[in-house]
Amino acid sequence: MADPVPGPLLGRGRAADVYDVGGGRVLRRYRTEHDSAPEAAAMAHLAGHGFPVPAVHDVDGRDLVMDRVDGPSQLEVLQRRPWRAAACGRELAELHHRLDRIPPLGSGEGRVVHLDLHPGNVLCTASGPVVIDWSNARDGRSAEDVATTWLLLAVGRPDGGRTLQVLAAILRRRLLAAFLSEVDVEAARGALAEVCDHRLHDPNMGPAELAAIRALAASEAR
């Protein structure tokens, strides 16, 4: 039997649902079997080094209970205030720089990488940005993480008609240009082919996104 619904549904991601469980907390529940312990450990490590993530209170298999963060995502802000695109791009770059200053999760080299850092995973609060969805977090290379954000900003496709797609394309270019102006583009370009190849095997990517990934890989390989 499926687990009971714990409270009002707040949102649905590609792999998990988020419920309000009261007391200023939310439950992130994966829809398939999943071990949330590594994600919780990564978030605790980041919080311990001053990086803005929700506080984790409990983890049990595919369930993760954490603080509810009040504030819209960058994506929601951009939908209402598209002139904020450049500022959001620079903020994404600054979050990468802050990750660069945090020691790795393990004893090896590198730093903690998010590998899904995009406007939908940055919540804008009164005290600053808070980054969510650390399901892909591990130790890795900064260039790989930056290249992943580059790819996601370049290929993201909102649902909607042609007019919305045209407006989104303009907004995407401004957001991406601001982001790339604040990061090591050459290092990220060196990791882009690998990142594109990985995302081409992601079952969550739609046909339009897959086509855009192939186009991006081809254009940067020239």
What gap in Å lies between CA 148 and CA 191, rounded to an integer? 9
Q: Which of 180, 181, 203 is nearest to 192 (CA)?
A: 180
pTM for the whole thing? 0.91
Q: Which of 160, 180, 170 is nearest to 220 (CA)?
A: 180
Residue for token digits 């980041």? 46
Neighbours of 146 (CB within 10 A): 30
Structure token pair of residue 179: 């982001």
Instruction: Give, in order, the Cα–Cα distances in Å from 156 to each of 49, 104, 148, 169.
Output: 31, 29, 12, 9
Structure token pair of residue 52: 């803005």
Structure token pair of residue 105: 């999760």
- Give the ranges where the chain is alpha helix by DSSP (H): 37-48, 74-80, 85-100, 142-155, 162-180, 185-199, 207-221
The secondary structure of residue 193, as a DSSP letter, is H
Q: Which of 106, 129, 105, 107 is nearest to 117 (CA)?
A: 129
Amino acid at 94: E
What gap in Å lies between CA 24 and CA 8, rounded to an integer? 13
Per the DSSP assignment, residues forming a β-bridge with 27 are 19, 65
pLDDT tens, position by position, for the chain (222 residues)?
357 778 899 988 888 999 999 999 999 999 999 999 999 999 999 999 999 999 999 999 999 999 999 999 998 898 889 899 999 999 999 999 999 999 999 877 889 999 999 999 999 999 999 999 999 999 999 999 999 999 999 987 665 555 556 667 788 899 999 999 999 999 999 999 999 999 999 888 888 889 999 999 998 876
Contact indicator for 55, 18 with CB cutoff of 8 Å = no
pLDDT of residue 90: 98
Cβ burial of 218 (10 Å; 0-12, 13-18, 19+) is exposed
What gap in Å lies between CA 28 and CA 121, rounded to an integer? 14
